[in-house]
A = this chain, B = another copy of it.
């Protein structure tokens, strides 16, 4: 008996050691170790330059009902392969992206049940991606995920840049704290007014999660290629510093309906000892599938203005055409309603915007409030709030379409769904035909409030599929999509490049409601933007809203920082969000917005520290032209701008938009100075940035 026990023990030990597989990144800096532990649970760990990044962490699933798929596995096969290629994004931060990794695929089987999964690890120089495959097999065809049990065990009480784990929203302010401090901060972090909110009860956070260790490692955890699967939040154990997958459930508490012959999204860990490399990482894009469309000639960057900010200023402009809330789409004759005379999206006013756009070289004008139904737009219980094919009586679709065409400007369609997605899908085909009939080529979608179908969440599998469906349907009509309040992006804009921007985080509109902390835009590129471009809507010059009326709100940035955001916050869709009148007032500063590019040959991350500052230079796609943006948090600082990105041996004229000497986001935000300077590849500029200030430079 003793002997048998001893042999068993030996076998288990040896089995577990035999299993251990190591994978190195192409540059050798990252090492992944994968094995089965003594329970037959797949585990992995990750090292960077011999420093532990992720301690031994478990992988697997619990399947409904009572199927355990996170232990009792055996490795049947491991396969290694490497990739080194380049590809060109349709729109992007650089014209060419290198896709270089070493891959380990492990096939696992549970001996008793014969159930199989495979795990793919792809190790890039900038991090690790891994995903699960559910192969077609005899004993498993359809199943429901009760929970994914993937862990990311951190090595200590690191600093996190976090927002609360939530099934419905990412529109929180970031909190910067140690893991051990989160519990004491989470109440304040979550108790903010949001139209849809389903905060996770236990301590949890959203991804992309930015982490900084005490010894200066930067770690970013997110996911890539989120399709037909719920989004992943992260449970936080503030004692063990373990993070673990927390999938967004559906209306009945299930966390994913899977048919075998499919893959999960990739779980991503970007790592570096230099924060700049986090921003430079293209790993998440590399883990997405190539472009799904043959013809992408219709996908273009868009710089736009819009009938939008005037709804937030307190100046009295309204989305609604009348004050009669008792409207019913399909029954109410809107032409018979008494107009409220504050309706923003009227033909005359929109033509003024079109004129301004045309005169100043903008591609498009967004018009919110053009369609029937806004009178009752806060009725979150109502399934059919809007028509997406019927304009208000004072919005002449045909006339405006003709007028915009004549002026070489597009109108951007707006589809606020108020999250009634069943109704939106019913109208979608007609709405898209209406758009093509009237010369629209882009739509801003909105998902304010709780989801209908009831009980579903913004970030659940059902809605993940909805957003993708909308992007695919729009593509059939050659229409680009900018989704607001949707699930945060995971690099799907590589596959569906018409889904070219999203909000999915706290953007400028919150400045008019509760303000935004000055460090917010120094964190977003390390978090939300890791997944994809953000329609942040910068460019507010008149930040003190008391200018318009009774509102007391003030932006928390200088005017120049608003300019710098066009460079630091990558997006092929950029709004000049302020009112035309303010751009006329500050016409010299406005020049930068008119000039700045949207699509790039190269990007150079010059300085970066999450929560503190970011300085980025970019070269315009196809042009000898560069733009630099630098921002800081509430602390003034001196940026060191190294122009070595310029071609050697040539001089260029740089126009520098800088904070005025007495500029300060609280007391003197509109103070700025514009100067010219000759620069070359050897120039190193020491540039002062005011508190929550910035610098914007254009170079030709």
Contact = CB atoms under 8 A, between A and B. Distances in A.
A243 to B, nearest CB: 28
Contacts of A382: 142, 257, 259
A379 B141 contact: yes
Contacts of A383: 257, 465
Interface stretch (A248-256, A582-590, A652-660): A248-256
Interface in A421-442: 422, 425-426, 429
A597 to B, nearest CB: 37
A454 B250 contact: yes
A89 interface: no
Interface in A316-345: 325-326, 328
A657 to B, nearest CB: 48
A261 B327 CA distance: 9
A293 interface: no
Nearest to A455: B251
A142 to B, nearest CB: 5
A381 B144 contact: yes
A422 B424 CA distance: 11
A379 B383 CA distance: 29
A455 B376 CA distance: 27
Interface in A116-164: 136, 141-144
Contacts of A454: 250-252, 254, 453, 455-456, 462
A326 B260 contact: yes
A469 interface: yes
A168 to B, nearest CB: 14
Contact of A425 (B144, B251, B426): B426
Interface in A248-285: 250-252, 254, 257, 259-261
A454 B328 CA distance: 27
A620 to B, nearest CB: 39
B326 A136 contact: yes
Interface string A371-398: 0000010010111000000000000000
Contact of A469 (B142, B259, B426): B426
A462 B469 contact: no
Contacts of A260: 326
Contacts of A381: 142-144, 257
Nearest to A250: B454
A26 B469 CA distance: 56
Contact of A259 (B141, B259, B379): B379
Nearest to A141: B325
A326 B453 CA distance: 28
Is chain A's binding surface mostly helix, strand, loop or mixed? loop
A415 B442 CA distance: 33
A136 B375 CA distance: 15
B252 A455 contact: yes
Contacts of A250: 454-455
A526 B459 CA distance: 47
Contacts of A376: 141, 259
A418 to B, nearest CB: 12
Nearest to A461: B383
Contacts of A379: 141-142, 259
Nearest to A331: B261
A133 to B, nearest CB: 14
A101 B425 CA distance: 42
A328 B261 contact: yes
Contacts of A469: 426
Interface in A217-275: 250-252, 254, 257, 259-261
A423 to B, nearest CB: 9
Interface string A7-32: 00000000000000000000000000
A375 B454 CA distance: 31
Contact of A462 (B257, B422, B429): B422
A468 to B, nearest CB: 12
Contacts of A136: 326
Contacts of A261: 326, 328
A379 to B, nearest CB: 5
A328 B143 CA distance: 15
Interface in A451-471: 453-456, 462, 465, 469
Residue in A141, A143, A260 with the greatest tally of chain B CB atoms within 10 Å: A141
B259 A453 contact: no
A528 B376 CA distance: 39
A250 B376 CA distance: 23
Contacts of A144: 381
A495 B515 CA distance: 53
A455 B254 CA distance: 11
Contacts of A252: 251, 454-455
A118 to B, nearest CB: 16
A261 B325 CA distance: 11
Contacts of A426: 425, 469
Nearest to A259: B382
A184 B392 CA distance: 60
Contacts of A141: 325-326, 376, 379
A143 B380 CA distance: 10
Contacts of A257: 381-383
23 contacts: A136-B326, A141-B325, A141-B379, A142-B379, A142-B382, A143-B381, A250-B455, A251-B251, A251-B453, A251-B454, A251-B455, A251-B456, A252-B455, A254-B454, A257-B381, A259-B326, A259-B379, A422-B462, A453-B453, A453-B456, A453-B462, A454-B462, A455-B455
Instruction: Rank and list the top 7 A-B pairs by shortest CB-CB distance, nearest first.
Output: A453-B453, A251-B455, A251-B251, A252-B455, A257-B381, A136-B326, A429-B429
Given A454-B455, A455-B455, 4 more contacts: A142-B379, A254-B454, A453-B453, A453-B462
